[in-house]
A and B are shown apart, each in its own frame.
Chain A
Amino acid sequence: EDQVTQSPEALRLQEGESSSLNCSYTVSGLRGLFWYRQDPGKGPEFLFTLYSAGEEKEKERLKATLTKKESFLHITAPKPEDSATYLCAVISSGSARQLTFGSGTQLTVLP
């Protein structure tokens, strides 16, 4: 059974204070690792897909990286509008097409 664990559960940063969120996974044949952003009361918003170890993707202040056991979401010089819950999910060869999600990291960026 696929498992995804995210840490920390919650993170408070000052504006401009860079940090990283962790997503560790156990799957039978990774097909893709996905990062989503979710604002309160809304559906998840797609950010990145990573397919193989060593791959990196960037978007504005966010950078996602992937190893064989975990992924990191690096946030550089965050702004208050980056406050949200960040969700990590995987698709594996054993899970048909469904995403298996972690519980998320709730990020708060203080002005």
Chain B
Amino acid sequence: DTGVSQDPRHKITKRGQNVTFRCDPISEHNRLYWYRQTLGQGPEFLTYFQNEAQLEKSRLLSDRFSAERPKGSFSTLEIQRTEQGDSAMYLCASSRDNSWGNEQFFGPGTRLTVL
């Protein structure tokens, strides 16, 4: 399977703990995106990489959130000092670097529950 993969699929943590999620994009895609989705809503953009450069961050991405893509391949999203409001599905997507309208392909997501 050459689709986008994410790990873990589910994470349960206590408030105040740090968590880290991993995303492996489709191999020939050099753009990588993180989104967050809460129940009954569409995904909301968090941040975007082109190769290893983080080019855009949403105002939703507080100082407790950090994302990296060190070698332009996989990416990690870390949330420090988790809060109950961080509970959501965290989605990763990737796309080619050809034009504005390139299709973004999503992974299965990581479901985070903060107790």
Contacts and interface: CB of A to CB of B under 8 A. Distances in A.
A78 interface: no
Contact of B42 (A31, A41, A51, A103): A103
Interface string B93-115: 10100001101111111010000
Contacts of A89: 42
Nearest to B33: A98
Interface size class of A (residues with CB under 8 A): 20 to 34
Nearest to A9: B40
Given A91-B101, A98-B33, A104 B42 contact: yes
Given A31-B101, A32-B101, A91-B101, A43 B48 contact: no
Interface size class of B (residues with CB under 8 A): 20 to 34
A87 to B, nearest CB: 5
Contact of A44 (B40, B58, B95, B106): B106
A96 B104 CA distance: 14
B69 to A, nearest CB: 14
Interface in A25-45: 31-32, 34, 36, 41-45
B45 A46 contact: no
CB-based closest 7 A-B pairs: A101-B42, A32-B101, A98-B45, A43-B106, A31-B100, A96-B56, A44-B106
Given A42-B108, A101-B42, 12 more contacts: A31-B100, A32-B101, A34-B104, A43-B93, A43-B109, A49-B101, A51-B101, A87-B42, A91-B101, A96-B55, A97-B55, A99-B33
